[in-house]
Amino acid sequence: MTSIGQDISVYFRTELEDAGNIELVVVLPTFRRPEHVIKTLKTIASQRPDVAFATIVVENDDEGLAGAAAAKDFFLGRPSDSLVIIAHRRGNCYAYNAGWAAALENYPNLRAIAIIDDDEIAAPEWLDCLITTQEATEADMVGGPQLPVFEDMTGQKWKRHPVFTPHYETTGPVPILYSSGNVLVTRRVLDAMPRPFLDPAFNFIGGGDADFYSRCKEKGFSFAWAKEAWVAETVPARRTSASWIRARSLRNGAISTMLEHRRDPSAAGRLRTFCKSLALLGTAIPRGVKLWRRTGLAAAGLYHFYVAVGRLMAEFGFVNEQYRNPEKN
pLDDT tens per residue across span 279-312: 989 999 999 999 899 888 888 899 999 999 998 9
Q: Residue 325: what pLDDT?
A: 43
Question: Residue 322: pLDDT above 70?
Answer: no
Q: Residue 242: what pLDDT?
A: 87
pLDDT band at 3 (very low <50, low <70, confident <90, very high): very low
Query: Across the chain, what does the average pLDDT equal?
Result: 91
203 with 329: CB under 8 angstroms?
no
The number of CA neighbours under 13 Å toward the Cβ of 164 is 25
Question: Residue 155: pLDDT above 80?
Answer: no
Question: Residue 323: pLDDT above 80?
Answer: no
Question: Residue 128: pLDDT above 90?
Answer: yes
Mean pLDDT computed over 58-65: 96
Q: Residue 132: what pLDDT?
A: 98
- Percent share of the chain, pLDDT over 70: 95
Q: Residue 298: what pLDDT?
A: 87
- Using CB atoms within 10 Å of the CB of residue 245, give its burial: 0 to 12 exposed, 13 to 18 middle, 19+ buried: buried
Question: Residue 226: pLDDT above 50?
Answer: yes
pLDDT band at 258 (very low <50, low <70, confident <90, very high): confident
The contacts of residue 266 (CB under 8 Å, 6+ apart) are none
The contacts of residue 6 (CB under 8 Å, 6+ apart) are none
Give the least confident one: 120-124, 142-146, 262-266: 262-266
311 with 277: CB under 8 angstroms?
yes
DSSP conformation class of 62: T
Q: Residue 324: what pLDDT?
A: 45
Contacts 24+ apart (CB under 8 A), 123-126: 123/43, 123/228, 123/229, 123/230, 123/231, 123/232, 124/43, 124/46, 124/47, 125/47, 125/228, 125/229, 126/43, 126/47, 126/229, 126/230, 126/231
Higher pLDDT, 4 or 196: 196
Mean pLDDT computed over 206-221: 94
pLDDT band at 159 (very low <50, low <70, confident <90, very high): confident
Q: How far apart are CA 254 and CA 277, in angstroms?
A: 10
Q: Residue 321: what pLDDT?
A: 44
Q: Where are the domains of the chain?
A: 2-237, 242-323
pLDDT band at 2 (very low <50, low <70, confident <90, very high): low
Q: How far apart are CA 257 and CA 278, in angstroms?
A: 12
70-96: pLDDT as tens digits = 999 999 988 899 999 999 999 999 999
What is the model's pTM?
A: 0.91
Question: Residue 152: pLDDT above 90?
Answer: no
Mean pLDDT computed over 164-185: 95
The contacts of residue 167 (CB under 8 Å, 6+ apart) are 143, 174, 177, 178, 179, 225
| DSSP assignments along 241-294, one per residue | SHHHHHHHHHHHHHHHHHHHHHH--SHHHHHHHHHHHHHHHHHHHHHHHHHHHH
Distances (CA, A) of 142 to 203, 226, 237: 23, 7, 30
pLDDT band at 1 (very low <50, low <70, confident <90, very high): very low
Distances (CA, A) of 207 to 74, 189, 231: 31, 19, 20
CATH-assigned architecture of domain 2-237? Alpha-Beta Complex (3.90)
